[in-house]
């Protein structure tokens, strides 16, 4: 049996990063860019500024470098348009505005986010468990230890983010923001409990062999 720690660690990287960054990330970037432009035209740099204030990289997986790519893609799709170009010192600032089609897309995406359930379970970890015998036990345990440490660190950052929220939140929204932080905290705590149980029980697992059930493919006529 072969395998290196980075391979298994990447396989079971925390659920929030797998799902948010790889699946939801691009769509959430579109929502944020279109949503911010729905207030007024602005540059990619201004959009990045508001995303940093909102800590969107932490909880939505939106990387600052993805904004300019998203703007170009939305421009090509006719959802935003280049409104003006401004020269600030040696830097050229491009101002984008949302189009009527962009507003329709923004509203469509919002309705989709409100109505579509998102999985809150570590699918990558479940996949790794399916092939539990493929790696040495000590490699798996070391990877779980790394996973626990990473998730604990993420939880600490999450808790600090709640205490130092940089965005001025309207009083009417404060209760909903607290609910959002509590929801994220609870999901990470559930994953930590699951990981700690795995870490506790895997060393006591007796040796076993796995095999696939027999399967005969039907011959094509």
Residue 70: band (very low, low, confident or very high) from pLDDT cuts 50, 70, 90: very high
Q: What is the pLDDT of residue 71?
A: 95
Domains in the chain: boundaries = 5-15+119-204, 23-115
Note the pLDDT tens digit of each residue in 27-53.
Answer: 889 999 999 999 999 999 999 988 887
Fold classification of 23-115 (topology level): Arc Repressor Mutant, subunit A (1.10.10)
pTM of full prediction above 0.85: no
pLDDT band at 88; cut points 50, 70, 90: confident
* Cβ pair 208, 137 in contact under 8 A: no
What is the Cβ-side half-sphere exposure of residue 129, based on CA atoms within 13 angstroms? 13
Lowest-pLDDT choice from 37-41, 79-83, 159-163: 159-163
Report the alpha-carbon distance of residue 194 to residue 187 in Å, rounded: 11
Q: Say yes or no to pLDDT of 5 above 50.
A: no
pLDDT at 2: 33
16 pLDDT above the threshold of 60:
no
pLDDT score for 4: 33
What is the per-residue pLDDT across 89-133, written as a single tens digit (0 to 9) for each?
778 889 999 999 999 999 999 999 888 887 777 888 888 888 888
> CA 73, 76, 79, 82 torsion: positive or negative?
positive
């Amino acid at each position: 049996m072969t395998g290196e720690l980075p391979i298994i660690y990447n396989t079971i990287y925390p659920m929030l990063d797998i799902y948010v960054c790889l699946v939801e990330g691009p769509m959430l970037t579109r929502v944020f860019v279109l949503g911010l432009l729905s207030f007024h035209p602005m540059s990619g740099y201004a959009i990045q500024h508001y995303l940093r204030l909102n800590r969107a990289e932490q909880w939505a997986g939106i990387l600052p470098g993805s904004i300019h790519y998203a703007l170009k893609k939305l421009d090509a799709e006719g959802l935003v348009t280049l409104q003006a170009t401004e020269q600030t010192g040696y830097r050229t600032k491009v101002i984008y505005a949302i189009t009527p089609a962009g507003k329709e897309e923004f509203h469509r995406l919002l309705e989709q986010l409100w109505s579509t359930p998102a999985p809150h379970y570590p699918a990558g970890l479940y996949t790794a468990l399916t092939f539990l015998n493929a790696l040495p036990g000590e490699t798996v345990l070391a990877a779980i230890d790394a996973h626990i440490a990473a998730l604990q660190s993420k939880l600490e950052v999450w808790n600090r983010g709640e205490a130092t929220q940089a965005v001025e939140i309207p009083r009417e929204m404060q209760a909903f923001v607290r609910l959002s932080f509590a929801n994220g905290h609870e999901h990470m705590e559930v994953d930590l409990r699951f990981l700690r149980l795995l870490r506790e029980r895997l060393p006591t697992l007796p040796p076993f062999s796995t095999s696939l059930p027999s399967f005969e493919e039907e011959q094509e006529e």
